[in-house]
A = this chain, B = another copy of it.
Amino acid sequence: MKAEIISIGSEITSGQNLDTNAQWLSRRLAELGIPVGFHTTVADDLSDNLAIFRLASQRANLVISTGGLGPTQDDLTRDVLAEVAGVPLVYDPASFEHIQQMFAKRGRVMPERNRVQAYHPQGSEMVFNAVGTAPGIWMKIGDCYLAALPGVPSEMYLMFQNEIVPRLKQVGLGGGGVFVQRKINTFGWGESAVEEKFLDLPRRGHVPEVGITASDATISLRILARAENYEAVEKLIAPVELTIRQRLGSLVYGFEEEELQHAVVKLLNEKRQTLCTAESVTGGLIAHRITQVAGASEWFYGGVVTYTDAIKHQELGVPLNLLEQYGAVSQPVAEAMAQGALRKFRTDLAVATTGFAGPSGGTEENPVGTVYTAIATRETVASLRYSWFGNRQEIQSRAAKLALNLVRLKLLELPTPAGTNS
């Protein structure tokens, strides 16, 4: 049993776009117990595509391709699959109707070119796409099952989970054994500080295996294990997970793909607390991250982005003498911003940031990369100074994480940490 993933598109082979679909699919297949032997990326070239699909259908039992299903002349997957299978393309009126409806619902006329998306190789099944116009294709060539899905990640994810997984189980693929990966996300310490806590834990090659990865100041621990069934896997993972959680305590903010904003919105909801933001250096990024979470509107009232001294004074009531004496990038100003936002939005909590994201600016005392973040409630105000190396985007992103973590710790009634993350 071996699967192959094919990513189609000259924008990938040319290096213009980074392919993340192959990784996502590999993880899902691993969870289903299907090992992936190859990822192949091929340009939008007919003969190369024919060669790759012919080869893959011979050396793999399952092929999942992404891309090449759009309406343009570059989109070759329909034709390629038909030619490899040696069948003609046939027209599917139901798919055509769905495509037309997708346009009609948004009050738009379907371009004639989109009609090609309703064609599929004779004998194949159309795979329903609830959120886009490109249907997928499911078919068998020789001993190999093939699923062709669109390259748009959000469409592909949904179609794989809702349409392909059931078909895989139906044909007896992905039924044997269970592979589980648990990801524990932490914020507050650097990678090596976290790693030093776990020198005794099993690493690569052991069962369960523990790995540590760092992504933009978020440090994640992954526990990987594989066994006959979920119960057996859980028995392997549970004690390791417990050890990790005990050693890291409140550094742990979430699991799997959870970000700090998910932890914050969950806690706001649990504690029935409301929040607002006052942002300078993060320029709206904290508010943006919070409002990425569906349902945030119940607890997040809003925020201000105050990018000038005058606006900090006018909108947040930051005293002009504080701005003059300490400068906009200072602890007193961060705290005054948080308190000003709290008065303005009448929320339970307010979080504020001010700092130098670079590339220019900064002072000797507060070089580029320095950020002050403050959190205010009706009774208290606390703040934290932090400094990183990094480019503008990295400083902004880490400052937003620092602020979100401050909100999280406040909601958990834990002290504001000194912090060692870098």
Contacts and interface: CB of A to CB of B under 8 A. Distances in A.
A422 B303 contact: no
Interface stretch (A30-38, A84-92, A373-381): A30-38
Given A15-B26, A106-B389, A42 B48 contact: no
A369 B39 CA distance: 34
Interface string A191-227: 1110110000001100000011101000000101000
A312 to B, nearest CB: 8
A303 B271 CA distance: 28
A303 B291 CA distance: 15
Contact of A154 (B181, B213, B357, B394): B394
Given A38-B42, A111-B196, A292 B204 contact: no
Residue among A38, A48, A215, A291 having the largest count of chain B Cβ atoms under 10 Å = A291
Contacts of A24: 15
Range, interface on chain A: 35 or more
Nearest to A41: B39
A412 interface: no
Residue among A11, A22, A27, A41 having the largest count of chain B Cβ atoms under 10 Å = A41
Nearest to A387: B106
A41 B22 contact: yes
Contacts of A35: 13-14, 43
B38 A294 contact: no
A376 B310 CA distance: 21
Interface in A378-406: 387-394, 396
Given A38-B42, A106-B389, A212 B74 contact: yes
Q: How many copies does the complex hold?
A: 2
A291 B307 contact: yes
A351 interface: no
Interface string A93-107: 000000000110111
A65 interface: no
B307 A302 contact: yes
A195 B286 CA distance: 37
Nearest to A70: B191
A73 interface: yes
A178 to B, nearest CB: 15
A307 B311 contact: no
Contacts of A55: 55
B292 A283 contact: yes
Given A14-B181, A291-B396, 14 more contacts: A12-B26, A13-B26, A38-B48, A72-B192, A73-B203, A106-B388, A113-B192, A113-B195, A154-B391, A284-B305, A302-B307, A302-B308, A302-B315, A305-B305
